[in-house]
Structure 1
Amino acid sequence: MVRDILAVVGSQKVHSTLVGRLVEIDRLLTVLQSAAGGMAGVALVGGDAGIGKTRLVTELAERAREKGFAVLIGQCAELGDALPYLPLADALRGAQGELRAAIEERPLLGRLLPGVADAGPESASGLTQQQLFGSVLGFLATQPILLIMEDLHWADQSTRDLLVFLSRMLQTERVCLVGTYRTDDLHRRHPLRRVLAELKRLPLVTSVELSPLDRGEMADYVATLGGTDVRMIDEVVERAEGNPFYAEELLEAAIEGCSMPDGLASLLLSRAEMLSDPAQRVLRGAAVAGRRVDHDLLQEASGLDDMAFEEAMREIVSRGLLQPSGEYGYAFRHALLQEAVYTDLLPGERTRLHAEFARLLTARKGAAAELAHHYLASHDLAGALAASVEAGRRAERLGAPAEAHRHYEQALSLWDRVDDAERLAGTDHLRLSMRSAAAAADSGDNHRAIAQLRRLPPSAEVNERLAYVLIDKGDEADEEGAIAAARAAVEAAEEEPVLARALATYARALYWTDRDDEVESLALRAIEKARASGATDAETSALITLGSFAALGGDITRAKELLACASAEQSGDLAIDLRAIFQYARFQYETGDLAEAAVTTDRGLRLAHETGLDWSTFGTDLRFLRLLIHYVAGEWDAAEKVASGFGIRVGTPAEALLSSFALFVEVARGLPAVEERLSWMAPFHSDAFVSYMGHGLAAEHALWRGDPESALGHIETALGTTHPGNPAAIRLSATGLWALADLGRAEAADVLLERARAPVTGGQGSGQGWIGPEGMAWLARAEAEWHRAHGRLDVDAWRAVVEAFDFGFVYEVARSRWRLAEALLAAGDRDTAREEWERAVEAAASLGARPLGAALEELGRRARFTSAQSGLLTSREQEVLELVAEGLSNREIAERLFIAQKTVSVHVSNILGKLGVSSRTQAAAVARREGLV
């Protein structure tokens, strides 16, 4: 029986000694140890076929288990580009216990398991892949995990995308991700080349390249395999050229008394030819099936009865050509062996075997992608078309749009060569083409989607989708094309749902153009048609556009009503729903309604989390916004907690932007991470938003460190990449004016003030529209700093700044009170100055804003409000200090102030601590020197 055959593996030699790879295993163990400590790591292990990649990662897996890691191992196969997420699915099948429960909690992961892949809706949202990626990230965070993906040179695009996503997003999870690939298979245009080049630049990634073993290492290795004859060992070492797998095969051949032909393929085939005829037939069938094959399927394909098949398998396994894999299957001991046997098949034999596997898999309702492969190889075009369409549908349900597009394209390429193609596909050519284009767009290949849509006969639906993809592409060069396609869609639409979507897309296409006066009428028509036809997705999209347009024009009441309506109901399109919630929350934030913005943002974050979209575009945007709301509201501990998920070690502009938001609190609190974060962001300043965030906050950091010259340089650089009408220029200019005021350069201040005013004085014609309360507050700050640059500490100007930021911006109110206190002191209003100063000190202390606290302490010392060595003395401590300076004892002070002597003792201890002295005499001396008494 099967278990008897599997028992043969017990007689196989197990190589427990790792030879010649000590440096490489140490590098991998360093990554593993880092993961154990809460710093995730990725390792890419490359080398020629047979060089020892699998042996190396097997050793790592053994060490990881000893350290308490769960180990999951998945393998790509030559069919990998047709089977989405094959190594992930393979790895998940090995999950047990808590990990199995974690998979069951994430339905999208469960679809990757056998028998579950067909679950899910017939058509999936373009967000399905983002949901799956989020599910994988959440799954990996459950416990320490070593995830190994082997043979990435055969990986499908979706697996490559997942590898890139994890390499970028893993931060503090206890996860070690290892991928292996063949370097000799990576031709110049191999798709993995670009991915490897991108990943190796990331700080999280360690690259390990395996070179051939030297002669001494090879001799040791052959000895561990059982080689005893010196001459035999020398010959094996000489011919193997440092390749362990080749050496192993050579030694087996020598021990069995075979000749050792030139070339590894010839050697492998010579060993296979020693099998009996039935065993060779089984082996050839296994090679057609692929790297792994099911026991029952292989027996049926071989045509042998139970007894004959078991004898053949026992012979094959005993010679180490196939080995047990899973409970009831087999795998080639090495992919090179499978390749050699498959390549040696005669064309007719190969076609016949593929046809047989296609027949057997059809009866078993096997994987559609695998079926399509066998049908094509057996020249059954009709079967290949039907299987390709079904494989595309299954790939969509799994969240693998690139593979869905590939399968749909394969079906379309067969369409004209097959009779009754529409019946076989279950859809017409136009629908399948649009589905293929949608899959291409969902995979991020907008160029291919656009090209495919432009080849189709023009219709309302085709043109609407073309316009939508062109808008999403975000290229100004495509602006006119998007407008033309949307207009054509509107003109051709006959059915109301199609017309509603076309109108909504047309309004969106015109939003940022000089034809924005048409946006409102188009959006209103879209809403009317959508409500009449039940096209809720089109209605929500049009409401978002209309509400955003109202906000742009300063009609805040109407904008609030429209955006609230857009975000209130589910449209049936998750992407549009998240977009609506984000736009409404951003509007609430920009109008200064922080409490409501927080509620709306939290609702969006819950929806993103429940649908596995924490790391989708809108999931990330909502997290940005939540951090900003915490920051403005003075909830800095909560803001830091959100920012903890934003990695410092970044490798792309998107990651740099994500990282930059953490700088708000880090700069304001004077945290040591600022310098490192800024240095990692620096290479990505070509991105305008990254430049704005990085240079703007680097300038503030420099100002707190007393370096206004450097701060001014940062501001000039950032303004150089900022459109004059962009509201971002207001904050940058205000910060630059702070630097100029510190430098005393009045002559340059006028230019910066005009730059700050431009987004407001330019009005809607500037292309930016309405400026919210925060923007107006920064403009007030710029005006006040301009006065300071001209040598004037204007009380009214700084009071206006305090009032402008008092919509809830705790930190900026405190910073403005600092300057207001300065101005009041200069005007001689000492009592009011102290009142403003004390309120600022209290806010700075509660926020943990150390740089501001230090500046306030300096101001207090100069104003003789407190000591340079102290924090703020309370009024009672001030009274006690004055009596201490007079030389009174604790008992005398208690009598004078009518308080308990023990209370006086507590006050004196506090005073000594705040002044940084150890005796009453020293306290009195400091008090007199600093003007405190």
Structure 2
Amino acid sequence: MHAACGRRVLIGRAAQLAELTAALDRAAAGTAGVVLVSGDAGVGKTHLVSALTRAARERGCAILVGQCAELGESMPYLPLADALWAAARAESPESDAVRAALDARPVLGRLLPDAEGAPGSASELGQQQLFGAALGLLGELGQERPVLLVLEDLHWADRSTRHLLTFLSRVLQRERVCLIGTYRSDDLHRRHPLRPVVAELLRLPNVTGVEVGPFGPGETADYLAALARGAGPVTAEVVERVHTRSEGNAFYAAELYSAESTGEDLPAGLADLLLSRVERLSEDAQRVVRVAAVAGRRIDDELVRRVSGLDEAAAGEALREVVSHQLLVPAGTGYTFRHALLREAVYADLLPGERTRLHADFARLLAGPAGGRRGSAAELAHHSLAAHDLPAAFAASVQAGREAQRLGAPAEAFEHFDRALELWDAVADPEDVAGTDRIDLSLTAVRASGQAGEIRRAISRLRRLLDLADPADVRLGVRIREHLASYLGDIDEDAESQRVARAAVAMLPPDPPTYERAAALATYARTLLYSDPEGEMPAIAEQAVEEARAAGAADAEASLLVTLGIHRELREADAAVAEVFARARDLAVADDNHPVALRAAFHHARTKFDRGDLAGATLAADEGVKLTLENGLGWSTFGTVLRSLQYLIHYTAGDWDEAVRLADGFGIQVVRPPEAQVSAYALFVEVARGADTVDERLRWMAPLWHGETFLTYVARGLAAEHALWQGDADTAIHHVYRVLDSLHPYETGVIRIAATGLWAQADRAARARAAGDDATAWAAAEAGDDLLRRARLVATTTWDGHPRAWLGLEGRAWLARAEAERLRLDGDPAPDAWRETADLFTFGDPDGGFVYEVARSRWRLAAALAESGDREAAAVEWRSATRIAERLGAAPLLGALRELGTRARLDTGRPASAPSGPFAALTVREREVLKLVAQGQGNRDIAAALFISPKTASVHVSNILAKLNVTSRTQAAALAHRENL
């Protein structure tokens, strides 16, 4: 790891550096100023000030940097002496001036280490005389060049230095001096001598404070990437782990990242540094900190007192001392550690027996008398396990899992159930204590894992359960296989999903009807949607509905209704299918099967969206998301897609402010596929607006999209658009083919991706034609034919080869876009194709529909009309697209429109006047070509300037010569000059 790289790169401090630089600029202009820079130890104050000193050096400033040391009051004026000594001996432009100024002021010279009688004589100097000398030296240096004086680590400053700081802050006025002081805010306890000084100085008009806060997650990621430069990429998991533990502290992050390669839990040097702060406390205060470390991140007064064994007065005084040193900080009715790593260090430093005893004390207090528990089951389980009380830990873990389920927290429920399963063999009568058997508890844990979005983990557990289950228990075998098939389908392992579901169905006879067989039939029917070569799905699903009703399996019936609804929709274009989905949702909700209810809710909203009913889709999606969040299923399979669909509907309707509000909860720094899938949707607006966050969001997703089809489709499809807006067709094409490789060839998403690929190939061909590169233009046309073939195939055929009855309004519009782009690829402006595309994207509402795509289509339509010579019609479309782009804040599209407006002269705001004289017969495009001919440009230059092919340019020139009745380009150019074209 190259730590120097990380230290040289300034990350996440742009605002603070701008404020410091502004103070330096004011000083250079003759207004002195003082800036006090605060922040926790290791947060990056010195790094920030170093960036300022480099900037000041580049501006020709005189630089004086001094540092305080942890020496108490024994070295008066240490930072000033340090600054003067270093500047006088440095090979810098100001060194001669500093030496001359010191020679003229012996009182300052005697501060230096090599002065006679130094350093002790400094304390005998007249303070006012020294202060005046320091002020005079700074003023003298400032006459030649601005001065930057940096006094670091003022929390260690001696009394004399604090007086000097106060003096200079009060009297520096017109001197060209900028004074920067840094101090650790976490060291300024209530009685710290610098605390009142800072409070006093910040009231002065020329003194400002700058706080250096911790890194955000993205800044930590950038910082670790800088540290690791040349050593390979830093994974998202490592970034999350380091950021969580360091809490954005740069020094802690660097130390923890270094420890990642050695396997250290907490680097010894970092632990020693953290513990040194605790060792300054009294014995009672140290005891309180140790008790708090065992309690966790948060603790209240009563628990501190009872576990520490201190009486109320002693405990209160100890807490006051700890809080004054900012090791614990008040939070609500209790206290938390100022930094989690401090708690880790204190906890790790406890003796094993001491740690066990303290955990046992907490467990006893939390359990309460006679089983009346005072704390949560999760807390009790934690302390009981650490105290090696396994029966209590087991019982509390089961209870904690059930509490988490009731609270809609499936991830936490899984962790608690998983801990109970680990303890199963270590306790007596586990079934009596848990109220269930081991297999049922395991299935409960699996369901919690799936609801939390950890689908692959759930699949792994189910496969192991198949090996553990009693083969004679057929109904249990069916349950396990049904769950496994369902989860396999969620990750697009369709073939295995169908095989496992078919096996589950075959294990039980249809008579008598059973819940397990009904559920297995529902899952099997769902798998047949995607691969049904024998056409058996409708009959099986209808039969399964009857079996589900006979078995009282309402949730299985609901799932079957959804499957039948999708099947009908594909083959019959039945608009009433939305009501089928709504009925299935209500049935599943009544049966308390929320995963099935969410699947139905998604398709209810989705089918309204596909039919252009954006208002109805919004209401349906909002209801679905509410159901999701109320039951803690936000990261389940349909929880994520419902939240994504809710965002997509607002994006489509042009309500981008609401879409951005929803995306605020998506997160950029993602480490799990469900998080990445939701986060990817934020790219729709970010790419369309050209936001700075696009590259960062894609960087976090990149390690996760391999093998994740849905994520690849959304993220890489939008990455392709992002590349195209930046003029990088080759990168866009690469993304397009990676998406197509991952999608099922009959998946409707292929159409949009193919259209994006055709956009890229059309841009590529236009550049090739302008450069005379016929081979590349031909290759682009071949690739375009393949992309259009794929799009047409999906538009007309379902997965199993049947004709597709319903594509959806958006699907039809994207197909039209693909057709129009294919024509553009050949250099054909094709205004009719682009007009059809724009009309289809309105979804039948001239003022609504897919607002952004309407604007993008009208941009292409305006260009096509202008190229065809109808500039007035082009201006109408151009103005419409521009208004939409301005309202949405779609910067890349707006930039393209403005370029088109300038090039085709569409931005005049008024209809073009009719041409007159010898040019009356020329079209708008021909007049544009004639202007370029008059400038002496050849056909290839004309083609490049107007984004047409050289062949088209040649045709325009021939038409111009014929209409002007001239025989050469020279004659045409002369006529253009004579008529002042």
Structure-2-length-normalised TM-score: 0.53
C-alpha distance in structure 2 between counterparts of 1:844 and 1:29, whole Å: 39
Q: Tell me, yes or no, if the aligned pair for 2:687 and 2:694 is still in contact at 8 Å.
A: yes
Residues 543 and 563 in structure 1, CA contact (< 8 A), matched pair in contact too? yes
Alpha-carbon distance in structure 1 between the residues aligned to 2:910 and 2:306? 90
How far apart are 1:589 and its partner, in Å? 1.9
Letter in 1 for 2:749: A
- The answer for the alignment partner of 2:553 in structure 1 is 535
Alignment CA distance shift 1:488-1:382 (3 Å) = farther
Matches within 5 A, 1:413-812: 413-414=425-426, 418=429, 422-428=431-437, 431-439=440-448, 441-442=450-451, 444=454, 445-446=457-458, 447-452=460-465, 454-457=467-470, 458-473=473-488, 474=491, 476=493, 478-479=496-497, 482-484=500-502, 486-488=504-506, 490-491=508-509, 494=512, 496-514=514-532, 517-532=535-550, 534-553=552-571, 555-557=573-575, 559-568=577-586, 570-571=589-590, 572-608=592-628, 618-648=638-668, 654-670=674-690, 674=694, 686=706, 687-704=708-725, 708=729, 711-712=732-733, 714-716=735-737, 718-738=739-759, 739-740=761-762, 741-743=765-767, 744=769, 745-761=777-793, 763-765=797-799, 771-807=807-843, 808-812=849-853
Task: Quote how far apart the aligned CAs of 1:737 are.
Answer: 2.9
Offset at residue 861 of structure 1 (A): 5.5
**Structure 2 CA distance for partners of 1:546 and 1:759, relative to 1, 3 Å:** farther
Distance in 1, Cα, partners of 2:355 & 2:883: 85
1:200 aligns with 2:242: yes
Cα displacement string for residues 187-242 of structure 1 (whole angstroms, at most 9, x for unaligned residues): xxxxxx996564337999635556999xxxxxxxxxxxxxxxxxxxxxxxxx9995
Report the CA distance between 1:425 and its aligned residue. 4.3
Change (3 A) 1:610 1:855: same
Question: Which amino acid in the other structure matches residue 748 of structure 1?
Answer: A
Question: What is the aligned-residue identity percentage?
Answer: 37
Question: Relative to structure 1, is the Cα distance of residues 252 and 489 closer, same or farther in structure 2, using a 3 angstrom cutoff?
Answer: same
* 1:644 Cα offset (Å): 4.8
Output the CA distance in 1 between the equivalents of 2:245 and 2:335: 39
The match for 1:873 among 896, 910, 917 is 910
Structure 1 counterpart of 2:101: none
Question: Does the 8 Å contact 2:363/2:380 carry over to 1?
Answer: no
User: In the aligned structure 1, how far is the partner of 2:270 from the partner of 2:661?
Assistant: 55
Contact 2:469-2:476 within 8 A present in 1 as well: no
Q: Are 1:656 and 1:684, in contact at CA under 8 Å, matched by a contact in 2?
A: yes
State the shift of 1:774 in Å.
2.2
Distance in 1 (CA, whole Å) between partners of 2:656 and 2:254 is: 54
Q: 1:355 to 1:874 in 2, by over 3 A?
A: closer
**What residue number does 2:42 align with?**
23
Q: CA deviation at 1:858?
A: 5.3
Give, in angstroms, the shift of residue 487 of structure 1: 1.7
Deviation, structure 1 residue 666: 4.0
How many residue pairs match? The answer is: 661
Specify every segment of 5 or more residues in structure 1 that has no aligned partner in the other structure, as ranges: 1-18, 31-55, 68-145, 149-165, 177-192, 214-238, 257-267, 273-283, 303-308, 883-927
Give, in whole Å, the separation in 1 of the partners of 2:539 and 2:236. 46
Q: 1:370 to 1:605 in 2, by over 3 A?
A: closer
Structure 1 residues 568 and 737: alpha-carbon distance in aligned structure 2, compared to 1, 3 A threshold: same
Partner of 2:604, secondary structure, is helix
TM superposition shift of 1:773: 2.9
Counterparts of 1:809 and 1:523 in 2: how far apart (Å)?
Answer: 35
Give the conservation status (yes or no) of the 8 Å contact 1:624–1:661.
yes
SS at match of 2:425: helix
Query: Residue in 1 aligned with 2:424?
Result: 412
Equivalent position SS for 2:248: strand
Deviations 1:159-211 (A, max 9, x none): xxxxxxx997x99xxxx9xxxxxxxxxxxxxxxx9965643379996355569
Highest RCO, 1 vs 2 (Cα 8 Å, sep ≥ 6)? 1
1:36-55 equivalent positions in 2, closer than 5 A: none
Question: CA distance change for structure 1 residues 787 and 29 in 2, over 3 Å: closer, same or farther?
Answer: closer
2: CA distance, partners of 1:833 / 1:796: 12
Amino acid at match of 1:585: A
CA distance in 2, matches of 1:291, 1:707: 49
Taking the TM superposition and a 5 Å limit, the aligned residue runs for 1:831-910 are 836-837=877-878, 839-849=880-890, 851-853=892-894, 855-856=896-897, 867=905, 870-873=907-910
Kindly indicate whether residue 856 of structure 2 is the aligned counterpart of residue 815 of structure 1. Answer: yes
Letter in 1 for 2:487: D
Counterpart in 2 of 1:401? 413
After superposition, what is the alpha-carbon deviation per residue over 1:301-331, rounded to whole angstroms, capped at 9, x for unaligned?
99xxxxxx999x99999999x9999999999
Q: Classify 1:502/1:563 alpha carbon distance in 2 versus 1 (closer, same or farther; 3 Å).
A: same
CA contact (8 A) 2:562 2:600 kept: yes
Output the CA distance in 2 between the equivalents of 1:289 and 1:698. Answer: 46
Q: CA deviation at 1:547?
A: 1.8
Aligned residues of 1:351 and 1:378 also touching (Cα < 8 A): yes
CA contact (8 A) 2:360 2:383 kept: no
Alpha-carbon distance in structure 2 between the residues aligned to 1:58 and 1:581: 51
What per-residue deviation string (whole Å, max 9, x for no partner) do you get for residues 18-64 of structure 1? x998335859999xxxxxxxxxxxxxxxxxxxxxxxxx99769999x
Q: Letter of the aligned partner of 2:790 in structure 1?
A: A
CA distance in 2, matches of 1:834, 1:520: 53
Name the aligned partner's letter for residue 565 of structure 2: G
Q: Which residue of 2 aligns with 1:51?
A: none
* Alpha-carbon RMSD: 6.2
Deviation at 1:820, TM superposition (A): 3.9
Deviations, residues 617-654 of structure 1 (Å, cap 9, x unaligned):
54543343233323333334444444455555555655
Alignment of 1:300-339 (within 5 A): none
Name the CA shift for 1:630/1:871 in 2 (closer, same or farther; >3 Å). farther
Alpha-carbon separation, structure 1, partners of 2:361 and 2:865: 92
Secondary structure of 1:556's counterpart equals coil
Q: CA deviation at 1:403?
A: 3.7
C-alpha change, 1:27 and 1:625, in structure 2 (3 Å) is farther
String of CA shifts for 1:645-698, please: whole Å, max 9, x gaps: 555555565555444434433444455555665566555554555554455444
